[in-house]
Structure formats: structure tokens, C-alpha cells
Amino acid sequence: MQEDSPVQNENTPDTTTRIEQLQRAGRRNRLIVLAAAALVALGIGGVAVATTGNNHPAPTAVSLDAQSRVEAASRADRSARESSTPVTPSASPTTSPSAASASPTPTKTAAAKAKPKPKKTTKPTPAWVDPMPGASVTSCYGQRWGALHAGIDLALPSGTPIRAAAAGTVTQAGDASDGYGNSVFIDHGNGYLTHYAHQSRIAVTVGQKVKAGQVIGYEGATGDATGPHLHFEVHQGMWNQIDPAPFMRSHGVDLGC
């Protein structure tokens, strides 16, 4: 009878040693995994607790970790894109000559800043004026002492200037006789003349052009006069005396008669 060969036990020393090594390695790996998980859980939990600060439940470690990875990937992708895109410095705006010349800025000089002085304007002289303004009327046109007084007498102190009643040409300047004394006659070119008698001094000559208001002589008492005054007449044609009062009023001058 053949003797059976001894059956080898599965738990031989080599096998036993290998199993124990594997068991120890597995326990070590589990410990490492558990420790790592605990560290991760502690870190993420601390962040969650610090950021929430309220009664809302903190997000799980897995969701926070996934969110962190997404944000990190997004930052990395944006950083890569921004660094790969060359940044071109913007050129400073320039003004074309045409644009500059289109709207020039005026330079104010001292003369431009100074306000222009108003021009002195002189009031235009009327066509007809009072021959001796401010004078008192001592006699009007009409019958006096049985004869026609053919003019208006105007009195002021001797030497008062006498003015041309309107523009015209001097036709006579000197003694007119018939008691008028020193006289000036002015033809106004419209068929009418004016006569200024009893002057102390004459200031114009025959043929001279005069303007309305221009001084033609000075008041006096030459000829038949009881005192210094101006005897003023209006002639419609030479020596055809008319009443000066209505004639002068029709030309805007009131002599007081």
C-alpha cells in the first residue's frame, strides 16, 4: 500500500507571511485614506463654517471641492487667454489740421475785452430854429403908432448872439437904412427870406452859405431903436413882409406871438 504524501497546509510560513504583509499594507492604506479624508473634511468644513456665518446648512465637501476646481480652471483658462492676446496700447488722439482750423479759439485781446465807448451823438438841428432863444417878446407883427410894425421884436442883453432861422445864402449884410440899422438878409431858396435888424455887430458876409442855428451877428440898438433888441422879419419875396409868428409855427418854432 502506497503511503500518501503529506498534504501541504495552505498556511505555510511563506503564505502566512505574505498574507500578513498584505493585511498590514491594507490597514496602512486605509489609515492614510481616512487621515487624508479627515484633513480634507476639516479644511473644507472650516472654510464652509467661516464663510456661511448663518443658520443655513453648509455645502458638502464634495460640492465645494468641485466648485473650487471649476473656478480654478476658469481662472487658469482666462489667464491663459489674456496672456496670449497681445495688448495694443491705444494711440493718443490727434487732431487733424482741418479739424483744428475748423473751430479756432478766438484770442481775446485787451482791446476786444474793453467795452467800446458809446459814440457821442449830436441831436440833429431842426430845419428851422428860434433866431434868439429865450428872448422876451416886446412887440409882435401888426399896427403900432399908426404904422405897420412888420416884424417881431425879441429882447435880451446887448451882445446876445443872433442865429440864422434856417439854412440859406446871405444876400445883404450891413446898414439897410430906413431905420433898420445893421441888418442881415438870408435867402432860403424857397421864395422866402428872413431879415435880422438893429445888430451891434455882423458876423457874416454877402454870398456866404449859412446853416440853421449858425451865429450871423449880435444883438444891438443900431438904427431907430429905443433899446437893444432883434427886429425879426419874414419876407415872401424881397420887401414883402408877412407875419413871422404863423410862418415860424408852421415850421415848428413858436416865437410867442
How high does pLDDT run on average in the chain?
77
Contact 204, 170 (CB under 8 A): yes
Write the burial class of residue 181 (CB in 10 Å: 0-12 exposed, 13-18 middle, 19+ buried).
buried
b or e along 202-224 (b: 16 or more beta carbons within 10 Å of the residue's beta carbon)?
bbbeeebebebbbebbbbbebbe
CA atoms within 13 A on the CB side of 96: 3
Neighbouring residues of 170: CB distance < 8 A, sequence distance ≥ 6: 184, 185, 186, 204, 205, 206, 207, 208, 209, 210, 216
Q: What is the pLDDT of residues 69-116, one digit of tens each?
A: 667 666 655 555 555 455 455 545 455 545 445 555 555 566 556 677
Q: What is the pLDDT of residues 12-30, one digit of tens each?
A: 555 556 666 666 766 666 6
Average pLDDT estimate for 221-239: 96
pLDDT at position 185 is 98
- Distance, in Å, from the CA atom of 163 to the CA atom of 215, rounded to the nearest integer, reads 4
pLDDT at position 2 is 43
Left (φ > 0), alpha (ψ -120 to 50) or beta: where does 237 sit? left
**Position 119 confidence tier, pLDDT thresholds 50, 70, 90:** confident
pLDDT at position 45 is 47
Q: How far is CA 134 from CA 71, 122, 131, 154, 215, in A?
A: 107, 21, 10, 9, 15
Contact 235, 209 (CB under 8 A): no
Q: What is the pLDDT of residues 140-169, one digit of tens each?
A: 999 988 999 999 999 999 999 999 999 999
Residue 8 amino acid letter: Q
User: Does pTM top 0.85 for this prediction?
Assistant: no
Contact 182, 216 (CB under 8 A): no
Q: Return the bridge partners of 197, or none.
A: 231
Of residues 172 and 56, more confidence is placed in 172
